[in-house]
Copies of this chain bind each other. A is one copy, B any other.
Amino acid sequence: MSEPLYRVEGLRYSYGKHFDLDVPELVIEHGESLGIVGPNGSGKSTLLNLLAFIDAPDAGTIYFEGVPSGPESLEARRSVTMLLQVSYLLKRTVFENVAYGLRLRGEMQDASERVREALSWVGLSPDKFARRMWHELSGGEAQRVALASRLVLRPKVLVLDEPTASVDRQSSYLIKDAIDRCRRMFNTSLIIVSHDYLWLNTVTDKLVRMEEGRLVEYVAGNVIHGPWEETGERLFAKRLSDGQVIVSARGTSLQSSAILNPSTITVALEPPKNESALNILKGRILNMSDEVSTENVLVEVVVAQIHLNVRVTKSSAVRLQLVPGKEVWVVFKATSLQWI
Residue positions of A touching B, CB distance < 8 A: 15-16, 18, 38-41, 45, 85-86, 128, 132, 136-141, 144, 161-162, 165-174, 177, 195, 197-198, 202, 221, 223, 225, 284-292, 295, 297, 302, 305-307, 314, 317-318, 321-326
- CB-based nearest B residue for A161: B139
Known interface pairs A18-B136, A166-B195, A286-B290. Does A171 touch B40 (Cβ–Cβ under 8 Å)? yes
**Cβ-neighbour of A198 out of B15, B39, B287 (below 8 A):** B287
Give the distance to chain B from A51, nearest Cβ to Cβ, in Å: 16
In the assembled complex, the Cα of A32 lies from the Cα of B169 at a distance in Å of: 25
In the complex, A323→B312 CA distance in Å? 11
Contact A223 B170 (CB under 8 A): yes
CB-CB under 8 A from A144, the residues of chain B are 40
Complex interface: chain B residues within 8 A of A223 (CB): 170
| Chain B nearest CB, measured from A210 CB (Å) | 11
Residue in A171, A174, A197 with the greatest tally of chain B CB atoms within 10 Å? A171
Q: Are B174 and A138 in contact (CB under 8 A)?
A: no
Q: Evaluate contact between B290 and A325: CB separation under 8 angstroms.
A: yes
Count identical subunits in the complex: 2
Given contacts A307-B173, A326-B314, contact A141 B290 (CB under 8 A): no
* 30 cross-chain CB contacts under 8 A: A18-B128, A39-B140, A40-B138, A40-B141, A40-B144, A41-B141, A45-B138, A45-B139, A85-B166, A86-B139, A86-B166, A162-B165, A167-B195, A172-B195, A173-B307, A198-B286, A286-B290, A287-B289, A288-B288, A288-B324, A291-B324, A291-B325, A292-B325, A295-B325, A297-B323, A297-B325, A314-B325, A314-B326, A317-B324, A318-B323
Which residues does chain B contribute within 8 Å of A326, judged by CB atoms?
Answer: 314
| Contact of A167 with B40 in the complex, beta carbons under 8 Å | yes
Task: List chain B residues, Cβ under 8 A from A140.
Answer: 39-41, 195
**How far is B291's CA from A174's CA once the two chains are assembled, in angstroms?**
25
CB distance from A284 to the nearest CB of B (A): 8
Output the nearest chain B residue to A309 by Cβ-Cβ distance: B169
List of B residues within 8 angstroms of A197 by Cβ: 169
